[in-house]
Amino acid sequence: MTSAENSPGPVAPPAEADPRFALMDLAMSYLVPAALRAVAVLGVADHLTGGPRPVADLARAVGAHPLNLRRALRLLATHGIFTEDDEGRFALTPAAEPMRTDAPSSFRAAILMLTDATFWRPAGELEEAVRTGTSPFDRLFGMPFFDHFARDPGTAAVFHDGMASMSDPENPLVARALDLPPDAVVVDVGGGHGGLLLAVLREHPGARGVLFDQPHVLEGHRLGELGAEDRWDLVAGDFFAEAPPGDTYLLKRILHDWDDEHALRVLEHCRRAMSPHGRVLVADAVVPPGNDPDPGKVIDLLMMSSFTGRERTRADFDALFTRAGLRLTRVLPTDTRLSVVEGVAAV
Ligand X SMILES: C[S@@+](CC[C@H](N)C(=O)[O-])C[C@H]1O[C@@H](n2cnc3c(N)ncnc32)[C@H](O)[C@@H]1O
Give residues 128-147 in contact with ligand X (rule: CB under 6 A).
146
Judged by CB under 6 A, the residue of 186, 217, 326, 328 near ligand X is 217
Contact 41, 72 (CB under 8 A): no
The span from the CA of 175 to the CA of 180, in Å, is 10
- Residue 20 backbone class (left: φ over 0; alpha: ψ -120 to 50; beta: rest): alpha
Judged by CB under 6 A, the residue of 135, 214, 306, 336 near ligand X is 214
State the residue number with the nearest CB to ligand X: 190
- Out of 216, 256, 262, 269, pick the active-site residue: 256
- Residue-by-residue DSSP string for 96-135: TGGGSTTSTT--HHHHHHHTSHHHHHHHHTHHHHHHHSS-
The reply on whether position 238 binds ligand X by CB under 6 A is yes
Give the 3-state secondary structure percentages of the chain, helix then strand then coil, rounded to 5.
50, 15, 35
Number of C-beta neighbours around residue 203 at 10 A: 17
The span from the CA of 146 to the CA of 129, in Å, is 18
Piece of 51-59, 99-107, 186-194, 328-336 that binds ligand X (CB under 6 A): 186-194
Contact 338, 318 (CB under 8 A): no
Piece of 12-20, 38-46, 179-187, 251-259 that binds ligand X (CB under 6 A): 251-259
Contact 116, 140 (CB under 8 A): no
Give residues 254-313 in contact with ligand X (rule: CB under 6 A).
254, 257
* Catalytic residue status for 256: yes
Give residues 163-182 in contact with ligand X (rule: CB under 6 A).
163, 167
The reply on whether position 192 binds ligand X by CB under 6 A is yes
Piece of 55-63, 131-139, 185-193, 197-205 that binds ligand X (CB under 6 A): 185-193
The residues assigned a catalytic role are: 256
User: Would you tell me which residues interact with ligand X (CB under 6 A)?
Assistant: 146, 163, 167, 190-192, 196, 213-214, 217, 238-240, 252-254, 257
